[in-house]
Each structure stands twice: as C-alpha cells, then as structure tokens.
C-alpha cells in the first residue's frame, strides 16, 4: 500500500516544472527567432516598397521589382510595364521587401464577436407549422445572411502584403 503525501514538490517535480517552462519559452520565442533569420539584403527581381522622404510632410511610396542596384542608386520596375524609376539613396527613407501576405485568420480574434450572431441564428429551431412558418423561416435566412455579410466580406478580400524593412543597403556607406 502506497501513501501519497501532499507537501512540497520533490526534486523531480521541480525539474519537470523547469523543463516545461523552458519548452514553453522556446515555443514563445521561436517565431521571433525565425523572423530574424530573414535575409537583410536586396536582390534583383525582389518586390520592394520604397518610401521617399519629402520636405513638406508628404512621403512618396513606390512599389515594384528591383531592376538594378548600385551602391548609391536603386532602379525599380513599376508593375504593368509602366517604366522604371531611378531613386538616389539619399532620397530614400525606407526600403522593405515583400514577405508574403497576411493570413485570413490573423484577424479571427477580432472577428469572433461577429461569429456569435450567425451561429445563434443558424442553430435556432425551425418552425414547421403554423400560419406564419414560411415567412418566419425566410426572415431567419435573410437575417442569417445579413449577419454573416461582414465575415463573408472579410474572407473574400485579398489580404494585405507584409513588408520587412531592409537596413543593410540603406545603412551601407556609399562610395566616395
């Protein structure tokens, strides 16, 4: 017969707790570490977003593919065959490389309250008899469609692009 005592944890219990906390910390830090592995350089053909600093508070933003690059100049092809833009390093305030698109499900916690009404309406019991059963059922379908509309529109749109700033080319010293 074994008697279990409730008291301070044994050495193996403390060790397991520490290991569990270390594994949890590794999983929390992993996405940050993986982002830091992304390249910090510009290559020909990369899709980039370039911000130009203006003197009057307005900034120009150009999005295109890198056509050519030199130590002090960046040449960007504008999509659709509209031409090439030559940008001097001194005029550029930020360069960012396209890093895919955001997930449709990234905003799901924000959209969760909008899920409640359609779920409640969809799970309501149907009225099968009575003089107004058809009208009430049709109103339920219309209400279900209208409350689902924000969710449908959210998942139909193209998610925005993610951009990762590139510092190596912009911070490098230009040749003299």
pLDDT tens-digit map of 45-83: 889 999 887 766 666 888 999 998 888 888 999 888 888
Q: Six-digit token pair at 35?
A: 């982002």
Rounded-to-integer distance, Cα 88 and Cα 74, Å: 6
Q: Six-digit token pair at 118?
A: 């359609």
pTM > 0.85: yes or no: no
Does the domain made of 47-102+159-171 have the CATH classification 3.40.50? no
| Better pLDDT: 175 or 28 | 28
Quick check: 4 pLDDT over 90?
no
Question: Shortest CA distance to 94 belongs to which of 55, 69, 45, 59?
Answer: 59
pLDDT tens-digit map of 118-153: 888 888 777 777 788 888 888 888 888 888 888 888
| pLDDT on residue 9 | 55
Q: Rounded mean pLDDT of the chain? A: 79
For 129, counting Cβ atoms within 10 Å of its Cβ (0-12 exposed, 13-18 middle, 19+ buried), the class is exposed
Alpha helix positions (H), 37-171: 108-122, 133-156, 168-171
| pLDDT on residue 66 | 92
Q: Where are the domains of the chain?
A: 47-102+159-171, 104-156
Share of the chain above pLDDT 70, in %: 81
| pLDDT on residue 157 | 81
Which region among 9-13, 86-90, 152-156, 161-165 has the lowest average model confidence (pLDDT)? Answer: 9-13
């Amino acid at each position: 017969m074994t008697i279990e005592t409730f008291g301070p944890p044994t050495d193996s219990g403390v060790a397991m707790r520490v290991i569990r906390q270390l594994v949890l910390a590794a999983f929390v830090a992993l996405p940050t570490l993986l982002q830091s592995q992304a390249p910090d350089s510009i290559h020909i053909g990369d899709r980039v977003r370039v911000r130009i600093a203006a003197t009057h508070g307005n900034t120009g933003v150009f999005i295109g593919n890198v056509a050519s690059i030199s130590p002090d100049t960046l040449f960007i092809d504008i999509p659709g065959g509209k031409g090439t833009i030559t940008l001097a390093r001194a005029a550029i305030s930020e360069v960012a490389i396209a890093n895919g698109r955001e997930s449709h499900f990234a905003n799901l916690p924000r959209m969760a309250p909008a899920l409640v009404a359609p779920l409640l309406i969809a799970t309501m019991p149907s009225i099968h008899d009575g003089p107004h059963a058809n009208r009430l059922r049709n109103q339920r379908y219309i209400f279900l469609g209208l409350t689902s509309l924000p969710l449908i529109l959210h998942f139909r749109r193209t998610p925005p692009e993610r951009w990762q700033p590139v510092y190596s080319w912009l911070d490098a010293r230009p040749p003299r």
